[in-house]
Each structure stands twice: as C-alpha cells, then as structure tokens.
Amino acid sequence: MADDVRARILDAAVHVLETQGAKGFGQVRVAREAGLQQGHLTYYFPKKSDLVAAVLERLSERARGEFQRVLARSGPLDAAASEELFYDLVRTLMRDRKRSRILVALLAGSADDPDVRQALALQTHTQRAVMATLLGRDADDLDVHLALAALRGLGIENLLEPDEPRHVEEVIARFRQWFSSRPAKPR
C-alpha cells in the first residue's frame, strides 16, 4: 500500500513537471494531482528536495529500464550496433520535450538546494555511464562529457522551437563525424 501511494506521488510529480515545469511544481500541486492531501505527500517526502531526489531516481529507473529493454530485444551489441543505439537515443532526446522540460525544471530547483544538486549529479553520472558504454569509451572521457552537455543543450533548444527540430539528422551526422575523428583513449 505504501509503495502504491509513493508511486502515485512520483507519477504525479513527473506529470506536473512535464506539463507545468518548474513554475507549477510544488508539494500542494503534486498532492492534488496524486489525489491526496498534502499531509500524505509530506509524510513520504517531508521536504521538496526529498520529492525532487525521488523523482530523479524514478526517472533514472525508467531510463535504465528503457535501456535494458532495448538490450534485451537486440541481444549482445557489437560496437556498430551500440553506436547506432546511441544515435537513436540522440534522436529521442532531441524530440522529447517532456524530458527537456523536466530537466530545466529540476535544474532551476537545484540552484539553492544541495540535495537536489546531489541527485542531479547522480543522474548525470548514470547518463554519462550509459553513453560511455554505448560509445565504447570511458565515462570520464571528455568527449562523453561534451556529448551529454550537447544533448542537454539541444533538448533545451528544442523547448524553444515551436515544431519538431528540423536538424536532427544533421546533428547525428555531426556527432558521427566528431566521434570518428576523436579516437577513444585506451581504458
């Protein structure tokens, strides 16, 4: 029962972030979206930063699940298939306004909250590890850091565009060129 309520709260929080961004994100609105009294929400998440950290973990779980499902369908990946999976991820992230909106909202909320910053740092570490795996590189490789930063920036840019980005395949081509010209450092 408690896990169901917690899951309902987290689903509601993600929905509020997707639809209303940082401006609409607060415990009162999330509780209302979950169909609960605010006291129930604060029982599970006493501070807003607790809720944000749990939302980030929930989003990381979803991303890991998506990644695992792709791997389960495709079986073991060779280097070329792994790289193609990375480019499919780039396409998805560039077109997914909901994820970008959540990122912007959480970044805005992290400015004054060390707990939220720590949760975002953990999520970044996880994302970097996935990207590194797909690209056959070390997670500390500067190119992996730059690729993640570029993807986040492209996602934010996508929020400003009224239509689907027109340059997705051009970005993919540029990433291909970039990574082919920069050999991975030995691990």
What pLDDT, on the 0 to 100 scale, is given for residue 162? 63
Residue type, position 161, single letter: E
Task: Quote the longest CA-to-CA distance of the chain.
Answer: 56
71 and 148 housed in the same domain: yes
Q: Are 130 and 85 in contact (CB under 8 A)?
A: no
Cα–Cα dist 131/61, whole Å: 16
**Which domain, by its residues, includes 128?**
49-181
Could you tell me the two tokens for 113? 């909250």
Tell me, yes or no, whether 173 lies in a domain. Answer: yes
What pLDDT, on the 0 to 100 scale, is given for residue 42? 92
Tokens 């030995």: give the residue.
186
80 and 18 housed in the same domain: no
pLDDT in tens, the chain (187 residues): 678 999 999 999 999 988 887 777 888 999 999 999 989 899 999 988 788 888 888 887 777 777 677 667 666 667 777 778 778 877 877 777 787 888 887 777 777 777 778 878 888 888 888 888 877 888 888 888 888 888 888 888 877 776 666 777 888 888 888 877 776 665 5
Q: Are 76 and 69 in contact (CB under 8 A)?
A: no
Tell me, yes or no, whether 187 lies in a domain. Answer: no
Tell me, yes or no, whether 186 lies in a domain. Answer: no
For residue 41, what is the domain's CATH number?
A: 1.10.10.60
Q: Which residues contact 104 (CB under 8 A, 6 or more apart)?
A: 21, 22, 156, 159
What pLDDT, on the 0 to 100 scale, is given for residue 137? 84
What pLDDT, on the 0 to 100 scale, is given for residue 36? 93
